[in-house]
């Protein structure tokens, strides 16, 4: 499953499993996950922990969904971009998922006053701050 289509299918399946595992209280916050839960998951002590894996899957899902119209395999594109919730970011292609998670966790750490908002918008905001488009 090394093809881009196979990787996307795996990601979509993973996110589908996460959605099926939605806690009952998530409905009361108006979004599947808020920034408080995402921050808690992203700073889980053990990087093999279920929480950290959920954080990685969530961030990867947001990035993948936001850039679904892009063609990152096109060598003429120097950046991979994404757009969501009014935010747009352009990451260099060599950026790794761990770096994105670090950026999101740092943003959430630095902005506790925003953690009650939906996590998808907070991820987009964090990535835009770190890698704004030219």
Q: Judge contact between 83 and 64, C-beta under 8 A.
A: no
Domain residues of the chain, as ranges?
Answer: 4-70+77-130
Q: Judge contact between 125 and 87, C-beta under 8 A.
A: yes
Average pLDDT per 10 consecutive residues for the chain, totaling 134 residues: 52 46 42 90 82 93 79 53 88 91 97 96 96 92
The CATH number, out of the four listed (1.10.890.40, 1.20.1250.20, 3.30.470.20, 2.40.50.220), of the domain defined by the range 4-70+77-130: 1.10.890.40
Q: Judge contact between 107 and 122, C-beta under 8 A.
A: yes
The tens digit of pLDDT for each residue in 83-119 reads 888 999 998 889 999 999 999 999 999 999 999 999 9
């Amino acid at each position: 499953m090394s093809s881009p289509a196979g990787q996307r299918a795996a990601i979509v399946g993973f996110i589908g499993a996460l959605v099926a595992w939605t806690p009952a209280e998530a409905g009361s916050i108006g979004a599947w996950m808020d920034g408080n839960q995402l921050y808690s998951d992203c700073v889980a002590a053990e990087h093999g922990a279920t929480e950290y894996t959920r954080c990685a899957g969530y961030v990867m899902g947001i990035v993948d969904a936001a850039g679904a119209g892009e063609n990152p395999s096109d060598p003429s594109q120097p950046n991979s971009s994404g757009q969501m919730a009014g935010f747009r970011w352009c990451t260099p292609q060599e950026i790794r998922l761990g770096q994105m998670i670090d950026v999101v966790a740092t943003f959430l750490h630095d902005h506790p006053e925003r953690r009650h908002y939906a996590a998808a918008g907070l991820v987009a905001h964090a990535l835009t701050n770190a890698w704004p488009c030219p």
